[in-house]
Amino acid sequence: MGKLVWLNGELCPLEEARTSVADHAHLYGDGLFEGIRIYNGKVFKLDEHLDRLYHGIRMLGYEMPQPQEQLRSVVLEVCAKAEIPNGYIRLNVTRGTGLGLDPKHIDRRCNVMVMVSTLALYPPEAYEKGLDVITTSVRVIPSDSLDPRLKCIGRYASNILAKMEANARGAGEGLMLNHQGQIAECTGDNLFVVQSGRIRTPHPSCGILKGITRDTVISLARVRGYEVSEEILTPFDLFSADEAFLTGTAAEVIPMVSLDGKPIGDGAPGPITRELVEAYRAETDKGVAF
């Protein structure tokens, strides 16, 4: 059928989908989302994404109408009807509908959306050549203001500003630091550095979204015998690294070859990065069939 949207139980083509202008995410950014990949007719890491979504639902106090298993079935059903073998799923859950910041004055029946579409974050050549990255002036939101483990819609205004800054400076991505000057993440990706065969990535306490692709790559690297540690990192650790790469559901695993005009290592994708790119691509065959 093509690109589809399931919204509160109603299914329609993407171009016909409509939501209320008084949706609390539209008015205040009061919503959660997940992006999930479809590879060869299988949904990759579906349960991990749903776990994260429902953890956020509980923390934000949403009155979610569907239990997790029911939403899981809806996702697979919409994928089967869309018949897109390699695509991208967007899940949105918002607090409800109504004007006014205070949730007690709105209709708190959650608005739940499942969109099945397609998405390509970077051009194919970027995976061969690697990304040039700049350090943005936009800092990540402190974790004592909003826990970064919440994949909250409103949180991403700062990431969009950082991405716009990277675009304006001709970079493929923007590196975001926290207020202590430590590396957090890029605008839509987690970051890894490789030095002397050892792989390091920012500790969750530095203000990162604890990415599902990040966790997958950590497991894949450890299975292959690499030491992987979560640490506090600064830009110095990138300039002294042999290799660097980024991970994310949309980005997958992509090399990072420079920061602020200075090469990382020899300025080309490194062997460990290339190994993990291939390992991740092979892993995507382990999804849930629909």
pLDDT digits (tens, 9 = 90+) for 192-244: 999 999 999 999 999 999 999 999 999 999 999 999 999 999 999 999 999 99
Burial class (CB in 10 A: 0-12, 13-18, 19+), 129: middle
Looking at residue 95, the DSSP 8-state letter turns out to be -
Residue type, 45: K
- pLDDT higher than threshold 90 for residue 1: no
Residue type, 290: F
- pLDDT higher than threshold 90 for residue 162: yes
pLDDT score recorded for residue 273: 98
Q: Are 19 and 96 in contact (CB under 8 A)?
A: no
CATH architecture of 124-285: Alpha-Beta Barrel (3.20)
- pLDDT higher than threshold 90 for residue 85: yes
Q: For residue 165, how many other CB atoms are within 10 A of its CB?
A: 18
CATH architecture of 4-117: 2-Layer Sandwich (3.30)
Strand-strand pairing, 252-259 and 131-135: parallel
Average pLDDT of the residues of the chain: 96
Q: Which residues contact 65 (CB under 8 A, 6 or more apart)?
A: 109, 110, 112
Sorted by where each begins, the domain ranges of the chain are 4-117, 124-285
Q: pLDDT band for position 3 (50/70/90)?
A: very high
pLDDT by residue (tens digit) across 90-132?
Answer: 999 999 999 999 999 999 999 999 999 999 888 889 999 999 9
Residue 8 structure tokens: 């509160």
3-class secondary structure, 87: strand
pLDDT by residue (tens digit) across 251-282?
Answer: 999 999 999 999 999 999 999 999 999 999 99
Number of alpha helices (DSSP H) and beta strands (DSSP E) in the chain = 8, 16
- pLDDT higher than threshold 90 for residue 161: yes
